[in-house]
Amino acid sequence: MAGYKETPRQKMIAMMYLVLTALLALNVSVEIIEAFVSVNQSIENTNENLKSKIEETYARFEQQHLLNEAKVGPFWEKAKEARKLSDELIKFIDETKYEVISRSEKISVDEARTTPLGKITTRDKYDVATNYFFGNSQDGSKGKAGELRIEIEEFKTNVLNLVDENKRANVKFGMDTEGPFYDASGKKQNWEQHNFYHVILAANVTFLNKLIADIRNVESDIVSSLYSSISADDYKFDQVAPKVIPSSKLVFQGDTYEAEIMVAALDSKQNPEVFIGGRQIPASGGIAKYTVSAGATGLQTYRGTIKVQGPDGEAKDYSFEESYFVMTPSLTVAPTKMNVLYANVDNPISIAASGIPESQIQPTITSGTIRRDGKEWVVRVPLGQKATISVVHNDGKTQRKMGAADFRIKRVPDPKAFIANTDGGPVQKNMLLAARAIIPRMPEDFDFDLNFEIVSYNFAGVRGGDMWERAATGNMLTQEMQTFISNCKRGERIWIENIIARGPDGNRKLGTISLTVQ
């Protein structure tokens, strides 16, 4: 209070209160730091236990693989991929953890690996850690935090692809990178800011070890799901039905029709006896393949029986009927804009063959180049008489000619020169002065998006019986020409001639613009 004088004793008590308050604040801070150390140690122990339990699952998995390689093999390969993905991400996190400790403590990375969190002197500091995780970015997306988020998102996508869609909901990630996240005041943040901005080193290390625990849990869920799929794929022969799987029900004349014939509950340990038209079809691994040459066109039907040993040990017969359609090859090759190919420009071309996937169509051209651009093909040809596009069907096993189409090659038409939105005739003086530029335009019925530019022209006019001429480069009227136009009287003539335009295939000389000033 103003005018109040404290005694020495009161001053000493006030000073002691301040010191006590500081000590109390310091004690709370120390307790929080020690809590992070304790939690971090618990998480590290949990991670070791998780790793041991997962290794036990891998050991059982591998044993099943050794007993039945054909059945377990696909699932075991996915399990090994899950281990690889997890180990790679954990290695990245460990390297990040020891690197931030190394920078904060100013020790080597090897020393950081062997230093417990409780022995780290800078565990309550955040400056070095924040700079490390945020780099040069304001939101951390370009620093180590951004790299870590990308690695986590890729990991989540890749491991989910290892299990069937109906089992993906059982995988618990615990690694939300999408949010939304908010700070203490309710302001929205991204993942990097929420977890690494002005966060002390002890919290950083604890959070990174928590991420490792999340990864081990995901790995455990994935491997357990794959392991359970081994027995889930065991069929019970309480109800069986014949199954015919053709490679394709659409076959071109001269090609081969192929189909797989099996019982729905397939057992690779026994081969079914398959008969079609009195002929036995060879079987291997529980599957018989029926192959026949496609001769006559139209719908073709075949019937047969499958004899297989039932659950009770008795042979059972199952009848089946299947059909396929044989047709002659057809091919469509057409430009998407005109019925010709224009020289020295990109011509969009549509190529389609009925029943053939686009990825198996391989076109070639006798003159020029052809390339894929999205859903279309783009052809570029030099000036000439014609070009032929031939198409081959390549399914990875065989190649078959589908046909060819011939195209005439034409030169791109000349553009027409305009000024003040006219190519000749009467023109208002003020509109001519306002335009000031010669613009080349392609014909209205020309669908290609081509650009020509005016490179030079001659300007001529008559005044007082004398011819006034000037040459210019570019497409703009010179100041001298604009002055001439300004002084023109109604009815006087102006010519813009020898107009040279540059296009994709070189220079073109355009027609004269003949104007009458109004």
pLDDT band at 247; cut points 50, 70, 90: low
Q: What is the pLDDT of residue 87?
A: 94
Q: What percent of the chain has pLDDT over 70?
A: 83
pLDDT in tens, 337-371: 557 899 988 889 888 776 677 788 899 999 999 99
Residue recorded with tokens 């939300």: 176
For the chain, the average pLDDT equals 83
The predicted-structure confidence for 264-291, as pLDDT tens digits, reads as follows: 555 666 777 889 888 898 888 778 888 8
Sequence-separated (6 or more) residues with CB below 8 Å from residue 509:
498, 499, 500, 501
Assess whether pLDDT exceeds 50 at residue 27.
no
Report the percent of the chain where pLDDT is more than 90: 38
Spatial CB neighbours of 78, under 8 Å, sequence gap ≥ 6: 162, 163, 226
- For the cut 90, the answer to whether the pLDDT of residue 445 exceeds it is no
Q: Quick one: pLDDT band at residue 332, thresholds 50, 70, 90?
A: low
- CA dist., res. 112 & res. 246, Å (int): 61
pLDDT at 336 over 80: no
Stretch (H or E) spanning 468: strand 466-473
Report whether pLDDT(482) > 90: yes
Q: Determine the Cα–Cα distance for residues 105 and 394; give it in Å rounded to an integer.
A: 62
* pLDDT confidence tier of residue 447, bands split at 50, 70 and 90: confident
Is the pLDDT assigned to residue 309 strictly greater than 90? Answer: no
The angle subtended at Cα 476 by Cα 474 and Cα 478, nearest 5°, is: 110
Give the lowest-confidence range in 139-148, 194-203, 241-250, 348-357: 241-250
Average pLDDT over residues 114-120: 92
What is the per-residue pLDDT for 249? Answer: 57
Highest mean pLDDT among 135-139, 146-150, 241-245, 351-355: 146-150
User: Residue 331: pLDDT band by 50, 70, 90 thresholds?
Assistant: low
**pLDDT classification of 253: cutoffs 50, 70, 90:** low
Q: What is the band of 263 on the pLDDT scale with cuts at 50, 70, 90?
A: low
Burial profile 467-479: b = 16 or more Cβ within 10 angstroms, e = fewer? eeeeebeebebee
Q: Any idea which fold 242-327 has?
A: Immunoglobulin-like (2.60.40)
Report the topology of domain 332-410: Immunoglobulin-like (2.60.40)
Amino acid letter, 16 = M
Where residue 456 falls among pLDDT bands split at 50, 70, 90? very high
pLDDT at 43 over 70: yes
